[in-house]
Amino acid sequence: MKARVLVVDDDAALAEMLGIVLRGEGFEVAFVGDGSQAVAAFRRERPDVVLLDLMLPGLDGLEVCRQVRAESGVPIIMLTARSDTLDIVLGLESGADDYVVKPFKPKEIVARVRARLRQHDDVAPELLSIGPAVDPVTIDVQGHVVTRDGQQLALTPLEFDLLVALARKPRTVFTREVLLEQVWNYRHAADTRLVNVHVQRLRAKVERDPDTPQVVVTVRGVGYKAGSG
Amino acid sequence: MVARRVVRVPGRGAGRTFWADVGRRWRGSLQTRVVGTTLVASTLVVGLLATLLIGQVGKGLLDTKTQTSLSEAQSGALQVQSRLAAIPDLSVPQAVDDVLKSSFRELDTRGAVGGLYTVLEIPSAPDKAARVSETASPDDLPQRLADKLRPNGGALYTYGPVPDGLGGRVDGLIVGSVITTPNFDSYDLVHLFPLTAEEQTLSLVRRTSLIAGVMLVGLLALIALLVVRQVVAPVRRAAATAALLAQGRLTERLTVRGTDELAQLGASFNTMAQALQEQIRQLEDLSRVQRRFVSDVSHELRTPLTTVRMAADLLYDARDDFPPDTRRSAELLQNELNRFEGLLTDLLEISRFDAGATSLEAEMQDVTALVRRTVEAATVLAEWRGSEVVVRAPDVPVVAEVDAVRVERVLRNLIVNALEHGEGRPVEIAVAGDERAVAVLVRDHGIGLKPGEAERVFTRFWRGDPSRARTTGGTGLGLAIALEDARLHRGRLEAWGRPGHGAAFRLTLPRRSGADLGEGAPLPLGPQLVADLSRADR
pLDDT tens-digit map of B201-254: 999 999 999 999 999 999 999 999 998 888 888 888 888 888 888 887 888 888
Q: How far is Cα B72 from Cα B189, in angstroms, rounded to an integer?
A: 12
Contact check, Cβ <8 Å, B303/A14:
yes
Contact check, Cβ <8 Å, B313/A107:
yes
Minimal Cα–Cα distance from A17 to chain B, Å?
6
Choose the closest CB to A14 out of B299, B300, B307.
Answer: B307
Choose the closest CB to A11 out of B299, B303, B357.
Answer: B303
Q: Which residue of B has its CA nearest to A190?
A: B405
As a whole number, the mean pLDDT across chain B is 84
The DSSP code for B469 is: P
User: What are the residues facing A32 on neighbouring strands?
Assistant: A8
Chain A residues whose beta carbon lies within 8 Å of the beta carbon of residue B341: 103
Q: Report the share of chain A in percent with pLDDT over 90.
A: 28
Choose the closest CB to A103 out of B300, B302, B357.
Answer: B302
CB atoms within 10 A of CB A204: 10
Q: Which residue of B has its CA nearest to A110?
A: B310
Q: Which residue of A has its CA nearest to B311?
A: A17
Q: Which residue of A has its CA nearest to B345?
A: A103
Contact check, Cβ <8 Å, A11/B307:
yes
Chain A residues whose beta carbon lies within 8 Å of the beta carbon of residue B377: none
What would the pLDDT profile of B454-486 be if each residue is shown by its tens digit?
A: 888 888 888 766 555 555 557 788 899 999 999
**Beta-sheet strand order (sheet of A127-130):** A127-130, A137-140, A145-148, A151-153
Contact check, Cβ <8 Å, B302/A102:
yes
Chain A residues whose beta carbon lies within 8 Å of the beta carbon of residue B304: 11, 13-14
Contact check, Cβ <8 Å, B310/A18:
yes
Helices (H), B250-403: 261-317, 324-354, 367-377, 379-385
pLDDT value, residue A122: 59
Minimal Cα–Cα distance from B532 to chain A, Å?
38
Contacts 24+ apart (CB under 8 A), B162-165: B162/B118, B162/B136, B162/B192, B162/B193, B162/B194, B163/B118, B163/B133, B163/B135, B163/B136, B163/B137, B163/B192, B163/B194, B164/B115, B164/B135, B164/B194, B164/B196, B165/B112, B165/B115, B165/B118, B165/B135, B165/B194
Chain B residues whose beta carbon lies within 8 Å of the beta carbon of residue A21: 310, 314
pLDDT value, residue A155: 86
Assign residue B443 a region: left if phi > 0, alpha if psi is -120 to 50, beta otherwise?
beta
Choose the closest CB to B306 out of A14, A20, A84.
Answer: A14
What would the pLDDT profile of A36-93 be if each residue is shown by its tens digit?
A: 999 999 999 999 999 998 888 888 889 999 999 888 889 999 998 766 666 788 888 8
Chain A residues whose beta carbon lies within 8 Å of the beta carbon of residue B361: none
Contact check, Cβ <8 Å, B309/A24:
no
Contact check, Cβ <8 Å, B302/A14:
no
Q: How far is Cα B292 from Cα B295, in angstroms, rounded to an integer?
A: 5
User: What are the residues facing A148 on neighbouring strands?
Assistant: A151
Q: How far is Cα B222 from Cα B35, in angstroms, rounded to an integer?
A: 8
Q: Which residue of A has its CA nearest to B342?
A: A103
* Residues of chain B with a CB closer than 8 angstroms to some CB in chain A: 299-300, 302-307, 309-311, 313-314, 341, 344, 357
Q: Are A175 and A106 in contact (CB under 8 A)?
A: no
Q: How far is Cα B367 from Cα B342, in angstroms, rounded to an integer?
A: 25
Cβ–Cβ pairs < 8 A, chains A and B: 45
CA angle, corner B379, sides to B374 and B385, nearest 5?
120
Q: Are B150 and B122 in contact (CB under 8 A)?
A: no
Minimal Cα–Cα distance from A161 to chain B, Å?
29
> What confidence tier does A180 reach under pLDDT thresholds 50, 70, 90?
confident
User: Beta strands B492-498 and B427-433: pairing type?
Assistant: unpaired
Q: How far is Cα B471 from Cα B535, in angstroms, rounded to an integer?
A: 35
Q: Using H for helix, E for strand and C for coil, what is the string for B395-450?
A: CCCCEEEECHHHHHHHHHHHHHHHHHHCCCCCEEEEEEECCCEEEEEEECCCCCCC
What would the pLDDT profile of A109-164 be if each residue is shown by its tens digit?
A: 999 899 888 755 556 778 888 888 888 888 888 888 888 888 888 888 888 889 99
Minimal Cα–Cα distance from A156 to chain B, Å?
29
Q: Going along B45-154, which residue ranges are E strands?
A: 118-123, 131-132
Q: How far is Cα B17 from Cα A150, in angstroms, rounded to an integer?
A: 89
Residues of chain B with pLDDT under 70: 1-15, 150-154, 464-473, 529-538
Q: How far is Cα B77 from Cα B56, in angstroms, rounded to an integer?
A: 31
- Residue whose C-alpha is closest to residue B455's, from B464, B444, B447: B464
Q: Could you tell me the maximum CA-CA distance found in chain A, to the nearest angstrom?
A: 56
Chain A residues whose beta carbon lies within 8 Å of the beta carbon of residue B299: 81-82
Contact check, Cβ <8 Å, B304/A81:
no
